[in-house]
Structure 1
């Protein structure tokens, strides 16, 4: 027969347990680490009830030690463990006694002031009826644990909120510092990649019903054909719904046709109620982005769109200032600045001054509109015939110019001859051009004005000696 426990021993056991409860409560309040709180709950239960099996059923995702007896709480009509679900939903202790299985199970809700965070499941083996004298202590421990979990969760949420606000504040502050568009995109990419663990990021601007432009600085994926089905599908969805898109697994939708990436967040960029573009964020793993991250990205893009738009408008205004409205070549002022900069930094350069032959007769014969079209045709030929870092410009009227930084006379002559030949072949109505060419070298004292004067003299000689030709200024020393 089991030995009877006298009242004094019972009081001593209770005292020890409440001392343990006091100790664990003090430890709970000294830690804001969710994992530490959970570990302490399990440790205390095993210490008090060596023969009981204890499991924590939690209602939210928590990163914990995989060796701890912690599981997700399932509740609802499909829940297997109805008693645990009932304890969670009602906030009351539930007990399942089983004479057949010779065990009893107690389910104590982990209650805080603002909600219930899970259920403590305590199984008493070889005990068909759960000991009533243990219910009060376990319930008290569960309530204490619930309060500690709530405090730890609120602390983590507050830290996350502070971190999110710092990210938004840092981003908007940096973007409002008059960054160029390329700098804006690079900075945004760095922030998104670091904060959201994004593998590819795309910045798309809408410029028509079905047209869009992938901005430089976006991931390579968005410049490849494999991205087209996904981008078209999501762009149409955004334009129809005017809302952000959050997909945990792209492979589940056959209409999308995406094979490589699984997780997707797309946030529309809206300015003055107008949809101007979208930011794409993808990862190869399914369900990689949490809903909290999705909401944070929405807030980040919302606060950044104005600065993003300002960067684009500022660069567009700059392009308008340095671009000739008719030919879309550079303006005369921009040409002057680029040549001066080149003279300050380079060793040499070639300058071509071009004039359309008999332009007045073109205007008189075909009209000024055709005359403008002829100038545009020549400008387009120039644009196609020079390198990216060369400068094509409208000099004035029917005169155009080309500056070739770091180019010698041989290179300049080759470009000039190619222009003369192409203009005669490719224009309609058929026209010709004359070209004067000169170069500068760092070892000689030179200036932009002198360079222009020499090219002008060479051009004058080309016009006087038959037109449709290239003349080199040959008196330069």
Structure 2
């Protein structure tokens, strides 16, 4: 409890008496001889109690009291009027202007101390109510974020920032306890919002290990000199005079994580009210973490399934259906904006011979290696697909026929010069057909495929291992 009293009294004798009594009883005092000086002190220093004389030069006690109540002071100080006037009207007017109590001079020490102490108790009660209100509002903010967001990072960062604000911690973080021994992950930290899934060695955190074992909150008022920290005393020497609080996040009698706070703000560490507040938040944070992680997993699985629906399972290239869908889009875009579009169709020469000679397993390896070569050899904007069997296609947006032919030749050379796993003295080649838009007879994407396929057919009949352009 802080025992701070401001005396606003123009009589030097009365001021001296009040200061002497309060000082002897352990109170810290400051004084002013008029209302304006007292208000100035209040703007710099907030006492628990103000002893205010009624009759003063300039501003009287009623005016000063009204000014005090208009000031935004937190916590709100109690005002006790001290006056020679003891009539009913003075008392009622004082209380109506915001005073909390009234003492009639001459001052009697037991009465003064009793009334000041009583006002401190009342003030402390209101301060606790304000803290409870703030804590409830914070919990409401956290639970509202949990309900409104399924983003784990947003939920966890809200929790650590709100808890740090209430407790004035210099660090507040949430640590996930992994299934592996002595392994943990810092999922969020209010001092660095960029921290996500930072791996830590729990053997270096004996305080967290104790919380895991006991499943109970742990508050250490002096990190460096606490026996629990002896094995890591050297690594925590920079935290001299600091306190820590670790609260377990428990579900089904298993510690899934901890709420970790460190502060240097108090001589006596964390209060019971702060520990209880953190326990409530820790209990709620599990459900938020579980729901958010579950949603994240569902989204990832949905995205994975969506991606797999358009991918060829062997080569991981886009599949036949996706190829036609994208080609339709690119053709419509080329027509709308009058931009060029090219298509390359490729077929592995004599692929049946590879399967018959080396087996389908080696044949599959060849398909995967050629797919990787094509992906490596094209531009980022090109769309590569497995058209079917041993046939591949590449859609080239914004590309003229010459650029497509150059790319086709480069791919042909890459595939011919590559050494394939499982093939002994066997050269792999491809035949390639190229078509483009705008081109006579290419009215839609289907026409473009037919033209490229015709060019591919001519490449086969021209001896294979070559590139042919669609004839118009």
Query: Which interval holds the TM-score relative to the shorter structure?
Result: 0.5 to 0.7
Instruction: Give the gaps of 5 or more residues in structure 1.
Output: 1-37, 57-63, 71-129, 176-183, 210-218, 257-266
Give 2:136's aligned residue: 158
Give 2:295's aligned residue: 307
Which one of 113, 117, 125 corresponds to residue 139 of structure 1? 117
Which one of 383, 389, 401 corresponds to residue 391 of structure 1? 383
CA distance in 2 between counterparts of 1:348 and 1:270 reads 61
Give 2:100's aligned residue: none
Residues 168 and 461 of structure 1: CA distance in aligned 2, closer, same or farther (over 3 Å): same
Give 1:149's aligned residue: 127
Check conservation: 2:152, 2:293, Cα contact below 8 A. Answer: no
Give matches, 1:17-96, under 5 Å.
42-43=5-6, 49=18, 52-53=22-23, 67-68=45-46
Cα offset, 1:396, TM superposition: 0.7
Which one of 332, 340, 352 corresponds to residue 344 of structure 1? 332
Residues 398 and 307 of structure 1: CA distance in aligned 2, closer, same or farther (over 3 Å): same
Residues 448 and 366 of structure 1: CA distance in aligned 2, closer, same or farther (over 3 Å): same
Give 1:411's aligned residue: 403
Cα offset, 1:268, TM superposition: 13
When structure 1 is superposed on structure 2, of 425-434 and 132-141 the one drifting more is 132-141
TM-score, normalization: structure 2?
0.55
CA distance in 2 between counterparts of 1:268 and 1:408 reads 64
- SS of the aligned residue for 2:357 comes to helix
Give 1:73's aligned residue: none
Check conservation: 1:269, 1:301, Cα contact below 8 A. Answer: no
Check conservation: 2:434, 2:455, Cα contact below 8 A. Answer: yes
- Residue 458 of structure 1 pairs with residue 455 of structure 2: yes
- SS of the aligned residue for 2:431 comes to strand
CA distance in 1 between counterparts of 2:316 and 2:27 reads 73
- Residue 330 of structure 1 pairs with residue 322 of structure 2: no
Residues 275 and 133 of structure 1: CA distance in aligned 2, closer, same or farther (over 3 Å): closer
Give matches, 1:258-269, under 5 Å.
none
CA distance in 2 between counterparts of 1:387 and 1:220 reads 36
Residues 156 and 273 of structure 1: CA distance in aligned 2, closer, same or farther (over 3 Å): closer
Cα offset, 1:154, TM superposition: 1.4
Check conservation: 2:146, 2:155, Cα contact below 8 A. Answer: no
Instruction: Give the gaps of 5 or more residues in structure 2.
Output: 10-14, 29-41, 49-107, 182-191, 224-231, 237-246, 266-273
Task: Encode CA deviations 1:410-434: one digit per residue, 9 max, x unaligned.
Answer: 3222221111111111134231111
- SS of the aligned residue for 1:407 comes to coil
Give matches, 1:38-437, under 5 Å.
42-43=5-6, 49=18, 52-53=22-23, 67-68=45-46, 131-171=109-149, 175=150, 231=199, 233=201, 298-299=285-286, 300-346=288-334, 347-426=339-418, 427-428=420-421, 429=423, 430-437=427-434
CA distance in 2 between counterparts of 1:440 and 1:462 reads 20
CA distance in 1 between counterparts of 2:233 and 2:406 reads 56
Residues 311 and 421 of structure 1: CA distance in aligned 2, closer, same or farther (over 3 Å): same
- SS of the aligned residue for 2:356 comes to helix
Residues 44 and 150 of structure 1: CA distance in aligned 2, closer, same or farther (over 3 Å): farther
Cα offset, 1:42, TM superposition: 4.5
CA distance in 2 between counterparts of 1:391 and 1:363 reads 27
Cα offset, 1:348, TM superposition: 2.6
- Residue 474 of structure 1 pairs with residue 471 of structure 2: yes
Check conservation: 2:442, 2:448, Cα contact below 8 A. Answer: no
- SS of the aligned residue for 1:322 comes to coil
Residues 253 and 139 of structure 1: CA distance in aligned 2, closer, same or farther (over 3 Å): closer
- SS of the aligned residue for 2:134 comes to helix
CA distance in 1 between counterparts of 2:152 and 2:441 reads 43
TM-score, normalization: structure 1?
0.54
Residues 138 and 320 of structure 1: CA distance in aligned 2, closer, same or farther (over 3 Å): same
Check conservation: 2:145, 2:155, Cα contact below 8 A. Answer: no
- SS of the aligned residue for 2:395 comes to strand
Aligned residues: 344
- SS of the aligned residue for 2:309 comes to helix
Cα offset, 1:372, TM superposition: 1.0
Residues 447 and 188 of structure 1: CA distance in aligned 2, closer, same or farther (over 3 Å): farther
